Amino acid sequence: MQVKINRNFDNLVTNYLFADVARKTAAYAAAHPGEKIIRLGIGDVTLPLAPVVVEALKRGADEMGLKETFKGYPEYEGYGFLRTAIADYYKSFGVKVSADEIFVSDGAKSDCGNIGDIFSRDNTVLVTDPVYPVYVDSSIMAGRNIIYASCNEQNGFVAMPDDSVKADIIYLCSPNNPTGAAFTFEQLREWVDYANRHDAVILYDAAYEAFVTEDLPRSIFAVEGARTCAIEFCSLSKTAGFTGTRCGYTVIPKELERDGHNMYATWYRRQATKFNGVSYPVQCAAAAVFSAEGQSQIRENLAYYQENARIIASALDELGVFYTGGTNSPYIWLKCPNGMGSWEFFDYLLQQAQVVGTPGEGFGENGAGYFRLTSFGDRDNTVEAVARIKRLLS
């Protein structure tokens, strides 16, 4: 007998997107020393943690160093003080979620992928195209059938449900990575109604909810009917600069049932088996994000990124380039000018303006001919990159 590996891994398509971007950028830099390259392709935050968050992290570490306050294994679902703070945060924008429906985790990526553990292999998964690759690759690893809902210029990169399509598990991300497009309440309501009608479950990724500035949903639970069909993932990564600190949370309403099983109880059982929780200092830091002081401090960082996004978007407005995002999202998804392909535009921008972005086709077929810029960069660099882009395209 020989060990057999999960052959579903053979079905993963190797995505060279970020490797190719890095390789082409490095080659250009080597051939043109002294030229300043500006990177607007990064999907990672750059501003540091807020001061109250750092204080809480240190305080948590200090407590771990004293016999009286030392903590061993945390609760599987997260400390009560953090879950209560998260529930209060939801309440602050009018959404009712109870502290005992929240699971604290090390981030949204793990939960978005791991949630598949509680569903049978024989479910059809619907994702949008373009898409955050985690939903696709984790479904492939599980051997599930995947269908795509097209996002394009005609629908403003917002896909809507179709009753003739049978999907069991539906991944939605709003505001979206990579397109920056966000659902309205009415649009999200259509998905919720579809899921309830078809006994499907929506896996809703709200990682960018804190970037919403207009009157748009920041949680799927802001929509009536969502409590009987949705699970929500959220993260402090983009909200509060936790990409390197790691903390997220998942909400499963107590009344969500499928196939005779309670989804909260099933996920609890999964977590209790495979997960031993998030470290105490990190949970202290996360709770500090939701304090009044924490909220005002993280809002300063979010405002910085939002202003970068506005600067990029207003240049595209002037140039008459079609794009989505930028208003309720750190991402700007633009149509490559003059019918250029994604990689063609990447090379053009790199060679003529020394600006690096992300070719859209790395996120799915519908990304061909599109390009993603992000607002996570430095202000001066963003301003300079935008000036170069305007010079090049006007």
Ligand X SMILES: *Cc1c(COP(=O)(O)O)cnc(C)c1O
With respect to ligand X, which residue has the nearer C-beta, 235 or 301? 235
* Structure-token match 């009415």, residue found: 186
CA angle 377, 394, 30 (to 5 degrees): 50
User: Could you tell me if 360 and 372 are in contact, meaning their C-beta atoms sit under 8 angstroms apart?
Assistant: yes
With respect to ligand X, which residue has the nearer C-beta, 110 or 354? 110
Closest contact distance (angstroms) between CB of 132 and ligand X is 4
The two most distant CA atoms of the chain are separated, in Å, by 67
Closest contact distance (angstroms) between CB of 86 and ligand X is 14
With respect to ligand X, which residue has the nearer C-beta, 47 or 383? 47
**DSSP-based three-state secondary structure for 94:** coil
DSSP type of residue 164: T
Strand arrangement, sheet containing 358-359: 323-325, 331-335, 370-374, 358-359
**DSSP-based three-state secondary structure for 173:** strand
With respect to ligand X, which residue has the nearer C-beta, 56 or 240? 240
Residue closest to ligand X when measured from CB atoms: 107
* Structure-token match 């001066």, residue found: 380
Structure tokens belonging to residue 83: 């879950």
- How far apart CA 195 and CA 26 sit, in angstroms, is 46
Structure tokens belonging to residue 320: 């008459």
**Could you say which of 123, 128, 219, 237 contacts ligand X (CB under 6 A)?**
237
**Could you say which of 77, 101, 168, 205 contacts ligand X (CB under 6 A)?**
205
User: Could you tell me if 232 and 264 are in contact, meaning their C-beta atoms sit under 8 angstroms apart?
Assistant: no
With respect to ligand X, which residue has the nearer C-beta, 141 or 392? 141
User: Could you tell me if 285 and 56 are in contact, meaning their C-beta atoms sit under 8 angstroms apart?
Assistant: yes
Question: Could you say whether residue 177 binds ligand X (CB under 6 A)?
Answer: yes
| Cα–Cα nearest to 357, from 40, 44, 22, 45 | 40
Closest contact distance (angstroms) between CB of 19 and ligand X is 18
Interface with ligand X by CB under 6 A: which range of 34-42, 235-243, 268-276, 303-311?
235-243
Site for ligand X in 30-89 (CB under 6 A): none
With respect to ligand X, which residue has the nearer C-beta, 177 or 366? 177
Site for ligand X in 84-123 (CB under 6 A): 107-109
Q: How many residues bind ligand X (CB under 6 A)?
A: 13
**DSSP-based three-state secondary structure for 350:** helix
Closest contact distance (angstroms) between CB of 235 and ligand X is 3
Closest contact distance (angstroms) between CB of 3 and ligand X is 30
With respect to ligand X, which residue has the nearer C-beta, 235 or 266? 235
Length of the chain: 394
Closest contact distance (angstroms) between CB of 33 and ligand X is 33
Closest contact distance (angstroms) between CB of 205 and ligand X is 5
Closest contact distance (angstroms) between CB of 30 and ligand X is 30
Rg of the chain in Å (alpha carbons): 21
Site for ligand X in 320-379 (CB under 6 A): none
Q: Omega into 133 within 30° of 0, i.e. cis?
A: no
Question: Could you say whether residue 232 binds ligand X (CB under 6 A)?
Answer: no
Question: Could you say whether residue 132 binds ligand X (CB under 6 A)?
Answer: yes
Give contact residues for ligand X (rule: CB under 6 A): 107-109, 132, 173, 177, 205, 207, 235, 237-238, 243, 248
